[in-house]
Amino acid sequence: MLRAAAAEPYPLFYDTSALFLPAIISAEKNVRPLEQPVTGVTVPHHLLAADMIADTLRLASAHRYKRILLLSPDHFRRGTTPCSTTTRPFKTVLGDVPVDEAAVRALLGDAAVSESSLFSHEHGIQAILPFLARWFPGTPVVPMTLDIRSKPEDWPALAQRLKPLVTPDTLIVQSTDFSHYLPQPAAAERDQQTMRLLACGDAAGIPALGQPQNLDSKACQWLHMTLEREVNGIAAPVVVDNRNAIRYGGRRDEPRTTSYITQVYSPRFIPASSLPGEAWFFGGDTQFGRNIANLSKERLDAMFEKILAVTGSRPLVVNLEGVVLDDPPSGQQHPMRIGMASAITLEQLHKLHVAAVSIANNHSLDYGREARKGMKKTLADHGIVVLDEGTSTDLGPFRIGTATDVINLPSPANAVLAADSFDVWKQPDSKKPLFAFLHAGIEYRDAPGARERWLAEWTENAGAALVIGSHPHRPSKGWERSEKSLRFYSMGNLIFDQSDPANSGGLVEVRFFEQGTWAARWLPLGNLYRNSK
């Protein structure tokens, strides 16, 4: 029997390694590959941002894969079906890249997929291949381009066709550039809109994005997110970095720019220390009085260890429930009052690297106004920024406004805030994002009601781009987003003496990028008080 002749490889598209090696060598020197399993990445295909391609693919380079599924837009509309692929391998300046011919032929059984020679000049594929040759030598690829004219109704059937190829040893590489043809400030707004969607894992919202105002291939982003969620069980990507092309040169007022949002998918937690950008963390209800004050050092250390494993000792902002006192009352206290010994509280706050505390809550007046005033001075004297009711504070990369909708004194009351309560936060000339840290909601309810959504809208009117909250003792079920903000209504308990496992909590992580944008994610921790026993 005659063996079929091997397919002729595509010839070199880029004829010099100088386009790739500087970025590769820099990544090999400065980027540590992740120990966590990596199932997918999103990288640019503009070689202007070769360092972003290299830095992101380097994260996955410690792992070996059976195949790489490489997704790109069909930039020049050369394909004749919604999806194009090829059985031909590729030559690159850093080595040959084989094709998983069996996988490709399986795809070609679908009427929406056809074989094409467009790959000879498709930079969305060709720009990525040398990096794959370097770090994944001999690993076959399944190259796919998606027609930029494809419709959302075309995508689910294609996802079903691809699912058998997405095995535990498959890496999905999405080659996508983001905002196109806008000045940098407008592009950054589009990037922030896209990153709100990514935080929510909202693949269903992708068709409403602009193409190319938000990204050059909605189909690639939808397909990647859908495969990760439905096959790998990963709800949302982690944003690695966000930049604009003007970072690499050109005028600041360039009218037509391109932006890049790199992403990584893993079923395990990836710490901020493995990623670029300045990271800050936010936690919910925290106190060191009542039963917390009687915990053993071992239990407290166990709780702190879990928190610090997430923050990596980066700055933390918490809702501090109660009053810090030099000499809190001894013996049985009223269960609805929280007094905390100053020496112990300050020690614990510093151990957790708490940079700021919100006292805009219903327990900060538990021992009267003079005690509250003394607490503010004690905290400030020990280097902890106090975020008070109805104020906004500059914390470096962002401003934060704090307010409570719930009070205990002079008598218990809810819904005390009004639409104009947030006017004092407004700073129209500020270039920094404003975050709203609210104390609101109904205790032991993990879903926002109409009141919480009104509050979020009112903070948006004052400029808030992120809305986070505390008081219900239970974390929200997930992120919500609007046209103006990203919202996590309740972070639940961080350090609080409640044993019900439903009364849990976690941290919101925010990482800031050089063009002024930011990415957020929710990191659940469970009930630390209960689980430290």
CB 342 within 8 A of CB 324: yes
C-alpha dihedral sign at 407, 411, 412, 417: negative
Note the pLDDT of residue 463.
98
Instruction: Report whether 241 contacts 276 (CB < 8 A).
Output: yes
pLDDT of residue 333: 60
Report the pLDDT value the prediction gives residue 304, as an integer from 0 to 100. 98
The residues with which 391 forms a beta bridge, in sequence order, are 402
In CATH terms, the superfamily for domain 38-268 is LigB-like (3.40.830.10)
So what's the architecture of 273-531 in CATH? 4-Layer Sandwich (3.60)
CA–CA separation, 485 and 177 (whole Å): 23
Mean pLDDT by runs of 10 across the 533 residues of the chain is 67 98 99 98 99 99 99 96 98 99 96 97 99 99 96 97 98 99 98 99 98 98 99 99 95 94 99 98 97 94 97 99 91 75 97 99 96 98 98 98 94 94 96 98 96 98 98 97 98 96 97 98 97 85
Q: How many Cα atoms within 13 Å fall on the side-chain side of residue 28?
A: 9
Looking up tokens 């592009």 gives 187
What is the rounded distance in angstroms from the CA atom of residue 196 to the CA atom of residue 519? 8
Q: What is the per-residue DSSP string for 347-362?
A: HHHHHTTEEEEE--ST
Do residues 199 and 236 lie in contact, with contact meaning Cβ atoms separated by under 8 Å?
Answer: yes
Phi and psi angles of residue 494, each rounded to the nearest 5 degrees, phi first:
-100, -65
pLDDT in the model for residue 5 = 54
pTM higher than the cut 0.75 = yes
Same fold yes or no, 38-268 and 273-531? no
Rounded Cα–Cα distance for residues 356 and 462 (Å): 21
Residue 354: what are its φ and ψ, rounded to 5°? -75, 120
Which residues contact residue 24 at a Cβ distance below 8 angstroms, ignoring those fewer than 6 apart?
Answer: 54, 131, 134
Which pLDDT value is given to residue 2?
40
The domain spans of the chain are 38-268, 273-531
Q: What local confidence, expressed as pLDDT, does residue 1 receive?
A: 39
